């Protein structure tokens, strides 16, 4: 399978517990991914340099707190430290939650001033998909807070939830704001495939079927098979 084009930017999310296991997973995806997300909150001992020094793919570092569906439960200063280190190492992306404390956002933005790293401000709702007004408000907050890329992911209970989230791509294009937007849950699976066809910046998938880091997340093999069938 040839490497996916930037129009179909695929990020493989890796949530394993050891550095060696993460490196093995990264090696296993080969050319099928455009970006590798290293879930620092899944690592027993978070680290940056082993991945920056070893992996050739663009790297995205995320240290997701428990209050937004992740595994990190420590102090905020400890959570931010490896993300700042990733910025200093000029990784491709770091992900910070839109609702993170203002002090965390200021700290990361200060580090980003002298780096090529792009900031993804993300917002996840694991229970539902709010109305359009709230979704548009979240997008506006991401821009106002200095995001290079926004990420809005909600849990879909019906196809109407999915349509509401995907419609954000029209607004994002009007504002020239790169946006990652799709839905979790069974009704949202189609949005993970369609989002990049509709102008979305990137979609996410898992290394394998049993390693999903969010509800409804497809494996890399399945996602690439779908794109192949679509002739993408």
Using DSSP, how many helices (H) and how many strands (E) does the chain show? 9, 8
| CA 132/CA 210 separation, integer angstroms | 33
Active site residue 88: no
CA nearest to 64, candidates 32, 35, 99 = 99
Distance from C-alpha of 117 to C-alpha of 59, rounded to nearest angstrom: 10
Q: How far apart are CA 31 and CA 82, in angstroms?
A: 27
Closest listed residue to residue 216, CA positions, set 198, 204, 229: 204
- Which of 66, 1, 67, 64 minimizes the C-alpha distance to 34? 1
- Measured distance CA(40)–CA(136) in Å, rounded: 29
Tokens representing residue 222 in the block: 């399945």
**Looking at 7, 124, 145, 157, which residue is catalytic?**
124
157 catalytic residue (yes or no): no
Q: Of the residues 7, 88, 151, 159, which is catalytic?
A: 151
| Residue numbers annotated as active site | 124, 151
């Amino acid at each position: 399978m040839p490497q996916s084009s930037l129009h179909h930017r695929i990020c493989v999310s890796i949530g394993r517990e050891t550095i060696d296991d993460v490196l093995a997973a990264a090696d296993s995806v080969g050319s099928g991914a455009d970006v590798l997300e290293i879930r620092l909150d899944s690592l027993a001992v978070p680290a940056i340099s082993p991945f920056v020094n070893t992996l050739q793919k663009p790297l995205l570092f995320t240290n997701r707190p428990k209050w937004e569906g992740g595994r990190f439960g420590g102090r905020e200063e400890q959570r931010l430290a490896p993300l700042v280190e990733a910025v200093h190492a000029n990784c491709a992306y770091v992900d910070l939650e839109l609702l993170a404390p203002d002090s965390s956002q200021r700290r990361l933005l200060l580090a980003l001033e002298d780096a090529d790293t792009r900031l993804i401000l993300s917002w996840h709702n694991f229970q539902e998909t709010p109305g359009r007004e709230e979704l548009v408000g979240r997008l506006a907050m991401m821009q106002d807070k200095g995001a290079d890329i926004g990420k809005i992911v909600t849990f879909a209970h019906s196809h109407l939830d999915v349509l509401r989230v995907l419609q954000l791509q029209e607004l994002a294009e009007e504002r020239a704001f790169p946006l990652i937007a799709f839905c979790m849950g069974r009704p949202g699976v189609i949005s993970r495939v369609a989002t990049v066809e509709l102008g979305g910046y990137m979609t996410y998938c898992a290394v394998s079927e049993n390693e999903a880091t969010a509800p409804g997340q497809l494996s890399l093999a399945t996602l690439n098979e779908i794109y192949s069938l679509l002739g993408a």
